[in-house]
Structure 1
Amino acid sequence: MSAPDEALQPGFPHAVLHALGTGVFTVDTSGRITFVNPWTERLLGRPAARMIGRDAHDLLHRRPDGGPVPRDQCSIMALLRSGRPAEEGSDEYFLRDDGTTVPIIWATTPLLLAGRRAGLVVVFNDFSLHRDAEEQAAAHTAALEALTTRLNLVADVSSVLMSATATPQRIAQLLRLLVPAFGDWAAVDLRSERDRAAGTLERVAVRSHTHPRRARRLEGPLPPPPSGSRPARARTTGGDDTVLLSAAEVLGDPGAPLAATHRPLFDRLGGRSALVVPLRARRRHYGMLTVARAGDSPDLTDSEILLLNDIGRRLALVLDNARLYHEQRNVAETMQRQLLTPLPQVDHLRMAARYLPAQRAMEIGGDWYDAFLLSDGVVALVIGDVVGHDLEAASHMAEVRNMLRALAWNHREPPSVILQDLDEAVTNTSDAPMATLVFARVEGPEGGPWQLHWANAGHPPPLLVTDEGDTHFLTSHGPLIGMSAALHLGLEWPDTYVELPPGSTLLLYTDGLVESRGRPIDLGMAKLRHHASMLTGRTVDGFCDELLARIDPSGDDVALLALRLPPAGAGAPGDSRPPPPPQSPYSPAAPNRAAPGSVQLDAPVEDPTRGAREESPGGLPTE
């Protein structure tokens, strides 16, 4: 999951504020009230509508007799002016709507939005029951500690549940917050994704502040639930309702609800009672969160139970969103790999391709590579990128790719003419947006010399690396596909030729390799050139893998297509040198796809294009 879940952002703080039983309001930098919780309305007898937008000092701050307090003597406003981090007190009075005053205990903390001071958060409670000195001191300390602890817990739980870390780490961090703040030990049991129908549970995290080693040894798969009806399984694996367990019942009655799963916890970690909160979201039951108390610890209060229920609901949403994220990513990546092409085996040439999906679930689909034999026996190489990052972009990519294949196969024309026809076809027969691509022909007789004939439609330039490590970009640019015909610009794509030295490596790539949000494309291209020059001794597969490892692209998806030229004369008639090792079977494409234009080794059929290649001395026959 990667970005924070939208369901966790607004609702969680509000739910906690409702359960605190404490007044909370915020003021902006001018001292005007911007938010009040229901307990503020209750304590002051004022509806929120008559407080929002009013100056907090003028509206609320009074002396014990109801008289006004000079603004320069207001402790809360002083904090707003001074910018001090936080302060508390218990010698102030607020004015109720009926004209009476109420003594308050209060605490403040700066309100920060996007890292900038935006005002103050004021937390207060009725202090009228603690008027004598002894009671005031004790209540003051206890109330401030409780307020601070609860507010810190709210902030920390929100931070953990909204973080981008892996789900197991988030669960472990959550238990560290709950123990010992809410209980002496806590555990999270999740239903197995591989055996969800049977309801098998795995204890993924256990924490105890008194027996940490025992707690860790209790983690792992739990015994399978008994077969039978759903209610019978729910007694073992947890149902849909919060349950308060008694240790005496669980340890004394093997048939008690949840006895099979919780007896080892009580037996090894102790405890008097436990609250079991179901982890349920969007009609899916993911497991349960258990928080237990032992010894002389008081029972959980109603407000604590409500808060733990809300934490359980939020944890279930985290689990459900993680499931949806992985499902979406798997669908997108599977579709993308079904559209990618296995590489053909062509004479002594060796090719390698790599594809890295985008880091976010649906930012996938626009990049592609292609390599196939044309009707005249020439090898065609393509690298491209359709505008967009989603499944729609993947479908548009497939449209553009297939159009280009058909045009290249049916017309023995220069790459510039193929791109002009593709621009017309995309504009008039497809709703695909603009695309960048390089279309190239590798031409030459068996054994070389070889020549690259290509046209570039707004794509990053190919990189040529000689076997001595010299590098240079093959620059030649034309308009993007889908722009010239759509705007009636009459633009053209120049044809460009370059000799491919024996043993050299030609690299085609998409912009995700050289460009990111934190790095300009010029710096990325310089980095690519530097690392590519140092990898000439590697196989073409090793070249691609090491290049990706050194550059470590992030964010956008990345496609690579590399071609390694053989030594001079290799494969020519009369050449007695053994052929190079077979091309690596690795492919980013789906494993059930075959390379276009290739003959399957396990299906010996006559190559339908052999006659065309024999008639074209510039062609490169397949092996």
Structure 2
Amino acid sequence: MTGAHDEARHAVRPGFTVALEAIGASAYLVDEQGHIIAANSRAERMLGRRAEELVGQDAHELLHRGARGQPLHVSQCAMRQAFHAGHPAQGDDDYFARADGSVLSVSWLITPYALEGRGAGTLVIFHPREQERPAGARPERTAEPMGELERLALLAETTTRLTSTLNVDEALHRLVALVLPRLADWAVIDLITEHDEVWRTAVVHSEGGRLVPYEELQGPMPPVPEHSTMPLSRALRGVASALVEPDVYRSPPDSGIAVEQRRLFDATGIRSAVVVPLRGTREVLGALTLGRADKLESFTAADLPLIEDIARRASLALDNARLYQRQRAIAETMQNHLLPQMPRVPGLQLAVRYLPAPDASQVGGDWYDAFTLSDGATALAIGDVVGHDLEATAGMAQLRNMLRAYAWSQQTPPSRIVERLDEAIMPITDVTMATLVCARVTRADDGSWQLTWSNAGHPPPLLVTRDGLTEYLTGGHSLLLGTGTSTRRPDATVVLPPGCTLLLYTDGLIEAPGRTIDDGLNRLRQHAAVLAHRPLPSFTDQLLSRVQPPGLDDVALLTLRMPNQPRPGNAEGDASR
């Protein structure tokens, strides 16, 4: 049990606990095996146990009891049976064990709950069972058509699922899956673009358990009229939510948007709808319309608070996703403009690729460079600035420009260039730390090509012969830049065999969750060997396709292909002529 406890504790994500704290009742999450992976503070107080004592434990063994506190066999436990069935369920006559040995009479609800990156889970919400009311006493009528525990479970799932993605399209897909078919048969999402245009982004119908998009009803919408009193126009201005019947749009339209809304009602058969604004922190993002065509019940005013609460949470997620996508676009644009064109070097082939990470916060630190030096040699560089996003992109540009200046002005070995960079990085750049491989490719008098390099904490270059033999160039290694430690850095030199391929890359190509660095290096070596005979552009593209970097970090890749036979020559200057 201790091993399961430790594994669950380390695997739990902070987002789970945050979502549970937003629930106005005691709640915990279990994984597919029934082990608790998160609990909120209300559950801690109710059970008399800290979250650390709950996480990793089998919920049934730890908590579920009979009326006298006796352990329950699985066959006698209604909650455990419902858990195995995998469907929402609730109960009003069960007991939980508290830490002090007492038993707590509880009402509970369980519902399936998506655990990002961990498969399916189950959310458990519970509270002390109400005492029996005196004869003749009438229970309070709830204002919510959906049960209170179900409502809380839906809101918690909305928070977790929508805030765990920074992709707008994925957030919209999750929003639709959350509300259909639980709340409606139809979901319609209209978004306002950055150019103040309205785009009907989603029209989805729940049909027999499937979500079916109706693309013919999607597309650009007319502008939002400033003074229209129609429900959708008011929602898109962020004014108010509204209950809508089809007759509202039967009267003569006051705008093009009203015409489109009438077309929507006619095409879908919606006879009752709710339209709510999607408001971001700075602006109105759009509107959410939920419609009922097949369900018997019409929406009422009692439905509005729940749908508005869902819309608020969805708006926060969409606002964050849009912000990250803007940052990503800016970082990518800067990166693409800052990364250089490759020089033309007779006899040598060069290919470069840059893959931005899907998460905007991870874009910006990786870079490559290649340029001809004043003495005719060819300089190669690959590096990774510690940090991400625009600051790392700016730091990358500073570091690259300094390296170019030092390498051009000083005809010294790569190690001296790296030392000068390390001395200057702290006082005159915004870079805190960085890794780097700095190399020179020169041509000897006998026509052979040599590589001399110095490595400051970066993954080692990979050399692949045309026959598929591979070698990681581990020489010339020293500390990364920016440590504040003054040290002499070594160089290493190797003769490059005819027809070989040299790979310089960043760690995004070899690092992946659940794999060691050695696993990543071996995987890269194996695929590079298989592709050694391919033309260099095909080699580079196929290598990226086969290695399949996980996309958690950006990837920079520089490949160099040597000529098949050394040509006669007596000066390294031939490399640039």
Instruction: Give TM-score, length-normalised by structure 1.
Output: 0.69
Q: Which residue of 1 aligns with 2:380?
A: 381
* Alignment match, 2:199: 201
DSSP 3-state at the match of 1:568:
coil
Correspondence for 1:416: 415
What is the aligned partner in structure 2 of residue 340 from structure 1?
Answer: 339
Match of 1:128 among 110, 126, 133: 133
Change (3 A) 1:13 1:563: same
SS at match of 2:574: coil
SS of equivalent to 1:487: coil
Displacement of 1:80 = 13
Distance of 2:507 and 2:371 partners within structure 1: 22
Q: Distance in 2 between matches of 1:92 and 1:371?
A: 70
Matched, 1:525 2:532: no
1:225 and 2:223 are equivalent in the alignment: yes
The equivalent of 2:467 in structure 1 is 468
- The answer to whether the 8 Å contact 1:246/1:272 transfers is yes
Give the 5 Å matches for 1:378-457.
378-427=377-426, 429-430=428-429, 432-444=431-443, 448-457=447-456
Q: Distance in 2 between matches of 1:474 and 1:534?
A: 19
Aligned to 2:532: 536
Do structure 1's residue 619 and structure 2's residue 573 form an aligned pair?
yes
| Cα distance in 1 between the residues matched to 2:500 and 2:109 | 68
**3-state SS of 2:388 partner:** coil
| Alignment of 1:565 onto 2:562 | yes
Aligned partner of 1:368 in structure 2 is 367
Instruction: Give the aligned residue type for 1:248.
Output: D
Q: Is the 8 A contact 1:380 1:441 kept in 2?
A: yes
Q: Which residue of 2 aligns with 1:41?
A: none
* Percent identity of paired positions between Structure 1 and Structure 2: 38
| Structure 1 residue 267: Cα displacement | 1.9
What secondary structure sits across from 1:546 in the alignment?
helix
Match of 1:189 in 2: 190
Q: 2:553 aligns with which of 543, 552, 556?
A: 556
Which residues of 2 match residues 37-76 of structure 1 at below 5 A?
74=67
- Give 1:182 deviation, angstroms: 2.8
AA of the residue aligned to 1:380: A
Partner of 1:330, secondary structure, is helix
Q: Distance in 2 between matches of 1:522 and 1:264?
A: 59
Equivalent position of 2:542 in the other structure: 546
Given that residues 20 and 28 in structure 2 are in contact (C-alpha distance below 8 angstroms), is that contact kept between their aligned partners in structure 1? no
More off after superposition, 509-518 vs 160-169:
160-169
How far apart are residue 517 of structure 1 and its match?
3.4
Residue 447 of structure 1: how far off its partner (Å): 8.9
**Does the 8 Å contact 2:456/2:477 carry over to 1?**
yes
Distance, in Å, in 1 between the alignment partners of 2:246 and 2:324 is 38
Residue-by-residue CA offset, 1:167-186 (whole Å, 9 max, x unaligned): 44543454454344333433
Distance (Å, rounded) in 1 between the aligned partners of 2:349 and 2:221? 53
1:288-327 Cα shifts (integer Å, max 9, x gaps): 2122345884443444210011112222222222211110
Q: Report the equivalent of 2:493.
A: 497
Cα distance in 1 for residues equivalent to 2:546 and 2:124: 46
Q: 1:8 to 1:257 in 2, by over 3 A?
A: farther
Give the total of aligned pairs.
516
Structure 1 residues 340 and 171, CA, compared in 2 at 3 Å: closer, same or farther?
A: closer
Name the CA distance, whole Å, in 1 between partners of 2:334 and 2:28.
Answer: 51
Aligned pair in 2 of structure 1 residues 160, 358: CA closer, same or farther (>3 Å)? closer
Which amino acid is the alignment partner of residue 542 of structure 1? S
Q: Would the aligned equivalents of 2:366 and 2:385 in 1 still touch at CA under 8 Å?
A: yes
Distance in 2 (alpha carbons) for counterparts of 1:506 and 1:148:
61
The aligned runs of 1:97-116 (5 Å cut-off) are: 106-107=107-108
Following superposition, the deviation at residue 534 of structure 1 comes to 1.5
**Partner secondary structure for residue 287 of structure 1:** strand
Structure 1 unaligned segments of length 5 or more: list them. 18-23, 38-50, 57-71, 94-103, 574-615
Match of 1:291?
Answer: 290
Cα deviation for residue 567 of structure 1 reads 2.9
Decide whether aligned partners of structure 1 residues 252 and 6 sit closer, same or farther in structure 2, where only a CA change above 3 A counts: farther
**Who is 1:239 aligned against?**
237
Q: Distance in 2 between matches of 1:410 and 1:310?
A: 63
C-alpha change, 1:250 and 1:78, in structure 2 (3 Å) is farther
CA deviation map 1:410-443 (0-9, x unaligned): 1222223333333333355445333332222211
Q: Distance in 2 between matches of 1:498 and 1:454?
A: 9
Moved more, 166-175 or 282-291: 166-175
Q: Is the 8 A contact 2:21 2:40 kept in 1?
A: no
Q: Distance in 2 between matches of 1:408 and 1:461?
A: 21
Give the C-alpha shift of residue 343 in structure 1.
0.6
Q: Secondary structure at the match of 1:453?
A: strand
**3-state SS in 1 of match to 2:379:** strand
Cα deviation, residue 386, structure 1: 2.7
1:183-204 per-residue CA deviation (whole Å, 9 max, x = no partner) reads: 34332222345xx33x333251
Partner-residue secondary structure (3-state), 2:489:
coil
State whether residues 445 and 619 of structure 1, in contact with CA within 8 Å, keep that contact through their aligned partners in structure 2.
no
Task: Tell me how large the CA RMSD over aligned residues is.
Answer: 4.7
Distance in structure 2 (CA, Å) of the matches to 1:327 and 1:5: 26
Structure 1 pair 53–176 and aligned structure 2 pair: CA distance change class (3 A): closer
CA distance in 2, matches of 1:545, 1:357: 15
Q: Which moved more, 1:309-318 or 1:250-259?
A: 250-259
Distance 2:212 2:457 in 1: 62
Deviation of residue 388 (structure 1)? 2.6
Q: Which residue identity does 1:190 align to in structure 2?
A: L
**Cα distance change of structure 1 residues 116 and 301 upon mapping to structure 2, 3 Å threshold:** closer
Helix, strand or coil for the counterpart of 2:127?
strand
Instruction: Indicate how the Cα distance of structure 1 residues 124 and 307 shifts in structure 2: closer, same or farther if over 3 A, else same.
Output: farther
Q: Distance in 2 between matches of 1:501 and 1:435?
A: 30
Alignment of 1:601-620 (within 5 A): 617-620=571-574
User: 1:313 is matched with which residue?
Assistant: 312
- The structural deviation recorded for 1:280 is 1.6
Distance 1:305 1:225 in 2: 26
How far is 1:242 from its partner?
Answer: 0.6
Q: SS of the counterpart of 2:183? A: coil
**Residues 379, 620 of structure 1: 8 Å contact kept:** no
- 2-side partners of 1:219 and 1:318: how far apart? 25
User: Partners in 2 of 1:345 and 1:399 — Cα distance?
Assistant: 24
Taking structure 2 as the reference length, the TM-score comes to 0.74
Task: For residues 229-251 of structure 1, give each alpha carbon's deviation from its aligned partner in whole angstroms, at most 9, with x where no partner exists.
Answer: 46589748843211222322322
Code of the aligned partner of 1:185: W
Q: Please say which structure displays the higher CA radius of gyration.
A: 1
- Counterpart AA for 2:544: L
| Offset of residue 265 of structure 1 | 2.8
Structure 2 unaligned residues grouped into runs of 5+: 1-11, 30-34, 50-64, 83-88, 96-104
1:357/1:446 Cα in 2 relative to 1: closer, same or farther (>3 Å)? farther
**SS at 2:572 equivalent:** coil
Query: 1:78/1:303 Cα in 2 relative to 1: closer, same or farther (>3 Å)?
Result: farther
- Aligned AA for 2:219? P
Distance (Å, rounded) in 1 between the aligned partners of 2:430 and 2:122? 48
Aligned equivalents of 2:279 and 2:294: distance in 1?
Answer: 30
